[in-house]
A and B are shown apart, each in its own frame.
Chain A
């Protein structure tokens, strides 16, 4: 029941995936992207997310920005449906509303999440071997775009997660996650911003204790 966030995290990992795909036989765009992101420390990107949950009569929408920092971790700055911050570091999740106290939870009570955070780390360090340990990876190229389908190898992960598909051109544009229970999540991303190349003071404060 905890895989939802895990999946969001996984997406974040996928954003950096191109950097890890050099060894594959990808489309030219994908190759260019991975080269471009190879030495990038910070990536900022806007997103729009829609969750289709079978048990609910209407989808749950959210949107905001995503901040990926190679050293510090990942921050979600969510604007809608209401503003909230969520930060994932190596071993914990912190969540807070603007001006309110931060609530930190360790990842170890969330084995699914912890496992995915591990995958995330291996993606961030371009450790394709580790990723292929956890997933069956299939890539395909179209005229101006590339596609990738991931299926978990691990039984525990597979019991919750059916498949993940990723689509992009010069960057990751769309990710779709299908859960075994029938719930689906779609996320669309805007263009990557890599300037300034380091975290601004405000961005640093997200990761502060």
Chain B
């Protein structure tokens, strides 16, 4: 039996090390106090947990800005049985909400329409709809002439003298019809406000924007207060009033709330489990105080390391970190199980010497597991890995440096748990090899069967738990407004603003019929297009036959037409700058994302998508980017699921090599059997239970490795003296199972995946690990 030695160096002045460690912990505590008092340190933005796609930074920035604009929106829908009651409710809501801090009103529907008409009425030269543009480009003078005559003679043409004087060819109304968003059916305007009729009720929408990121907790609090106020107004209103609202801020607030409650469930649940177990087994205050010290130092170090590296800590990290309590207490269990054996008196020093090799190797292997999490470029996983590694290392240091000093006197623990452990262990290890082998063979077959049923899922919802009630409310709003928000959009770049507009025009033309795109070029045609349209219109007007027809058949004055033609020739071209300066552009200004180091960039929003494939294809155009965040994440998740599987495999091989170095082939095989059985069962369980299988289950296998291999090691180290080890391992496993079992109840799929995978794996590891030491006779 070959085994390399791991022992503590006595040369190092131990008291000095302990003092240094105590000082370091104190320093970390001060650092935390400073961070918590100097600004917000909690982060709740799901996207911050996800990897950034390796994309052009210019595009990334623009896409981010566009996303933020959309994310800040908050829509309220005031409903009532009559139109007047709905309007009255909307007015009083608006009055209240305009005063609410943290909310800013967005321009309503009607006002923007009117502002647009006025803006263009003053600049009528050469702005035409796409059908007219085509006629002009084709030079089809006869068709254009017929069309203009038809417009004059049609009773539905909205003409009067002031329009005719400015726009004698009646081109502007068509241009405006195309520029303005297509309104849904069931909408009308009353007293300046849009009213939607739906299923016998009347609804008035109100649009606001939260000031700041909807993921910031203070922004969420302000929005919640404003909504609370709005609900109070609706509750006082008459006529069967209802109030619905939707916006990212509501989902984000719900997510934060859920994360907070999960942090306290997992944290308190784990803590309570630890306290009860410690009291039950050790029956004394010292181990309890020691466990508080051990767990506390872990949490302090984890938080301090995370804040030092990331600047803030994500709520989901805390949820995950809550499970740290269950793992970090392991070292303490090993120490005290050895220290307070009821059967013999072990000094603090001797106890530590006895467990030291086991817990050291245990720490190293667990850290290898967490290092695997660190290697994946998920900021969220890195944060969780850092939090947990630092916390574990700190607990380890506390146990090995401080415990010998504080645990001078300790009462022996209760004899019953140890006796029970001895009895269980003896019987378990006495099971004939053949029976055990058959048992595990059956389990392996079942597991493989389960693994073949794994249904991979890779989408962004893994990180986002959306509340069903909020989704239902949002769906009701969407159905009334007949408009579902589309998260995908295009970005278009150009070296000049004009190139930008030309590229938009080309893109819109390509996608005509595939989807409706709203972009700046709908309101301000490119200079090229304006120039071409004006030139062709002037040519049209210089045709004598056309002039004769317009003056004779319609009755237009020659002078009116001449003035218009001069305008076409001389009036300055419409520019983006001019448009931005007008209130007409307010509802669309966010589409312009500004200057970049290589020119200009703007967004085009999508509606009414009819041909999905055409969108992806159009993204191949020069300067055009199709932003589909959800699909991007799905791709990333799938890619990393494969990478993580490889990573997990490598970690297992690495740990196996480490075990080979210490225990030789036979011992290594015995110890490695524990994590392998754990991983196999865990995957099989997920497959058979029909649970979602994702990247995060694979990541969790790294944790399963890190934790379960410890159990094997402890048994291997303990040899025949394994009753205390079994007790310690059982206690460790119980707290770990409690912690991860609680995580399995998380509403966030990623966290749930960690919980369920580790829970299933560790249950198996606990059952198998005694066999890892069984083959070995004699102490160390």
Interface residues of A (CB under 8 A from B): 1-6, 8, 49, 53-60, 62, 76, 78, 81-82, 84, 86, 90-93, 95, 105-111, 114-115, 117-118, 160, 179, 181-183
Q: How far is the CB of A175 from chain B (nearest CB, A)?
A: 14
Instruction: Select the stretch in B233-241, B454-462, B550-558, B639-647 that faces chain A.
Output: B550-558
A108 touches B153 (CB 8 A): no
A57 touches B159 (CB 8 A): no
Q: Does residue B244 face the partner (Cβ distance < 8 Å to A)?
A: no
Contact of A4 among B153, B157, B194 (CB under 8 A): B157
Contact of A91 among B109, B150, B186 (CB under 8 A): B186
A49 touches B163 (CB 8 A): no
A109 touches B161 (CB 8 A): no
A1-B121, A1-B163, A106-B183 given; name 15 further pairs at CB < 8 Å: A1-B159, A1-B173, A4-B158, A5-B155, A6-B158, A53-B164, A55-B161, A55-B164, A57-B555, A59-B555, A91-B185, A108-B184, A115-B190, A117-B188, A181-B162
A108 touches B194 (CB 8 A): yes
A60 touches B189 (CB 8 A): no
Contact residues, B526-569 vs A (CB, 8 A): 551, 554-557, 560
Distance, CA A5 to CA B184, complexed state (A): 21
B189 touches A114 (CB 8 A): yes
Give every chain B residue within 8 A of A160 (Cβ-Cβ).
160
Give every chain B residue within 8 A of A179 (Cβ-Cβ).
160
CB-CB nearest in chain B for A104 = B185
1/0 per residue, CB under 8 A from A, across B126-157: the answer is 00000000000000000000000010111111
A84 touches B154 (CB 8 A): yes
Q: Does residue B110 face the partner (Cβ distance < 8 Å to A)?
A: yes
A57 touches B557 (CB 8 A): yes
Give every chain A residue within 8 A of B555 (Cβ-Cβ).
53, 56-60
B557 touches A118 (CB 8 A): no
Q: Does residue B443 face the partner (Cβ distance < 8 Å to A)?
A: no
CB-based closest 3 A-B pairs: A108-B183, A2-B158, A58-B555
Give every chain A residue within 8 A of B164 (Cβ-Cβ).
53, 55-56
Q: A55-B560, A106-B183 are in contact. Are A3 and B153 (CB under 8 A)?
A: no
Q: Does residue B594 face the partner (Cβ distance < 8 Å to A)?
A: no
Interface residues of B (CB under 8 A from A): 109-110, 113-114, 117, 121, 150, 152-165, 168, 172-173, 176-177, 180, 182-190, 194, 551, 554-557, 560
B161 touches A106 (CB 8 A): no
Contact of B154 among A6, A49, A58, A95 (CB under 8 A): A95
26 contacts across the A-B interface (CB closer than 8 A): A1-B160, A1-B172, A1-B173, A2-B173, A4-B158, A53-B159, A53-B160, A55-B165, A55-B168, A55-B556, A56-B164, A57-B556, A60-B153, A62-B153, A90-B188, A91-B188, A92-B185, A106-B184, A108-B189, A109-B113, A109-B183, A114-B188, A114-B189, A117-B188, A179-B160, A182-B161
CB-CB nearest in chain A for B110 = A111
Q: How far is the CB of A183 from chain B (nearest CB, A)?
A: 5
CB-CB nearest in chain B for A47 = B155
Contact of B189 among A2, A8, A59, A111 (CB under 8 A): A111
CB-CB nearest in chain A for B194 = A108
Give every chain B residue within 8 A of A8 (Cβ-Cβ).
155-156
Q: How far is the CB of A167 from chain B (nearest CB, A)?
A: 21
The residue among B110, B156, B164, B551 with the most chain A CB atoms within 10 A of its own CB is B156
A106 touches B182 (CB 8 A): yes
Distance, CA A117 to CA B188, complexed state (A): 9
Give every chain A residue within 8 A of B183 (Cβ-Cβ).
106, 108-109
B155 touches A1 (CB 8 A): no
CB-CB nearest in chain B for A110 = B158
Give every chain B residue within 8 A of A58 (Cβ-Cβ).
555
Q: A8-B155, A111-B110 are in contact. Are A53 and B161 (CB under 8 A)?
A: yes
CB-CB nearest in chain A for B558 = A57
B155 touches A86 (CB 8 A): yes
Distance, CA A5 to CA B321, complexed state (A): 67
CB-CB nearest in chain A for B557 = A57
Distance, CA A62 to CA B172, complexed state (A): 24
Q: How far is the CB of A114 from chain B (nearest CB, A)?
A: 5
B114 touches A111 (CB 8 A): yes
Q: How far is the CB of B696 from chain A (nearest CB, A)?
A: 46
A78 touches B155 (CB 8 A): yes
Give every chain A residue within 8 A of B190 (Cβ-Cβ).
115, 118
Q: How far is the CB of B200 from chain A (nearest CB, A)?
A: 14
Q: How far is the CB of A75 from chain B (nearest CB, A)?
A: 12
Q: How far is the CB of A156 from chain B (nearest CB, A)?
A: 8
Q: How far is the CB of A67 from chain B (nearest CB, A)?
A: 14
Distance, CA A107 to CA B189, complexed state (A): 9
Distance, CA A2 to CA B153, complexed state (A): 15
B117 touches A1 (CB 8 A): yes
B160 touches A3 (CB 8 A): yes
B156 touches A95 (CB 8 A): yes
B156 touches A108 (CB 8 A): no
Give every chain B residue within 8 A of A60 (Cβ-Cβ).
152-153, 555
B153 touches A82 (CB 8 A): yes
B187 touches A108 (CB 8 A): yes
Give every chain B residue within 8 A of A93 (Cβ-Cβ).
156
CB-CB nearest in chain A for B181 = A109
Q: How far is the CB of B113 from chain A (nearest CB, A)?
A: 6
Q: How far is the CB of B756 from chain A (nearest CB, A)?
A: 50
B161 touches A183 (CB 8 A): yes
Give every chain B residue within 8 A of A82 (Cβ-Cβ).
150, 153
